[in-house]
Amino acid sequence: MSEELYSTDKSAPNDRATAGPFDLSEVNDVRPFIDLGSLHISPRENMQMKIEIEDATQRVIAVSIEYQGSTLQLQAFAAPRSSGLWHEIRREIQGSLDSQGGETELRVGSLGPELVAKMPIKSESGAPAGFRLAKFVGVDGPLWFLRGVIAGAALNNPKAAADIDDIFRSVVVVRQNVPLPPRDLLTLVVPGGTVAPPRSI
């Protein structure tokens, strides 16, 4: 099917409501979680989290999870009720990376359409310094969009990929009942408990 035929539809696995990622309204059982405001993340052994803070505003803008040689960066955004964001945002990421000299490949994975990318990196002097590999995934939920950026072992190891997929699927998105423009970043907070020190970007 041509992508243009479903570009305004929500992009999500058919079993999203029962297998995740979840909306808070879809989670009935009591389970341990790390509360980051708009994201609730289930802890697991040997998993580490880093909070990413924007220097200019000092607000938390992302959380990065490190697990068994893989990393998963998570962000949740406000979205329209009847349509999704992932198809549009994916094309924008692809266009941006291609214009910077990167390489991108569109695939269909366990979460739906995903973008595999070779992103150009530069040295401190601004000279080209090779590429960094990453995979962009996204899921449209009720009034929210959850984006993940995956790197490390999960890009080429099936077991590691399944582990990261399971972590992404276990995320619970908390969308407060407050009107927000589409694409507004849902508020993240520094959680209590044990996480890595905040990291500015």
What is the pLDDT at residue 1? 37
Q: 95-136 pLDDT, tens per residue?
A: 999 998 999 999 999 999 999 999 988 878 777 778 899 999
pLDDT, mean of residues 65-81:
96
What is the pLDDT at residue 68? 96
Mention every residue, 6+ apart, whose C-beta is less than 8 A from residue 63: 36, 39, 41, 49, 50, 51, 52, 73, 74, 188
Residue 32 banded pLDDT, cuts 50, 70, 90: confident
What is the pLDDT at residue 188? 95
Q: pTM value?
A: 0.89
Average pLDDT of every residue of the chain: 88
**Greater confidence, 7 or 140?**
140
Q: 18-30 pLDDT, tens per residue?
A: 999 999 999 986 7
200 pLDDT above the threshold of 80: no
DSSP state of 47: E
181 pLDDT above the threshold of 80: yes
78 pLDDT above the threshold of 90: yes
Three-state secondary structure call for residue 169: helix
Residue 62: closest CA among 121, 72, 90? 72
**Which pairing describes strands 103-109 and 144-152: parallel, antiparallel, or unpaired?**
unpaired
Contact 171, 41 (CB under 8 A): yes
pLDDT, mean of residues 46-62:
93
What is the pLDDT at residue 122? 80
Total residues belonging to the chain: 201
Contact 183, 78 (CB under 8 A): yes
Q: Where are the domains of the chain?
A: 23-93+136-200
The mean-pLDDT minimum among 6-15, 97-106, 167-176 falls in: 6-15
Return the sign of the alpha-carbon dihedral for residues 106, 69, 74, 64.
negative
pLDDT, mean of residues 142-170:
97
Residue 7 banded pLDDT, cuts 50, 70, 90: very low
193 pLDDT above the threshold of 90: no
Q: Taking the CB of residue 92, how many other CB atoms lie within 10 A of it?
A: 10
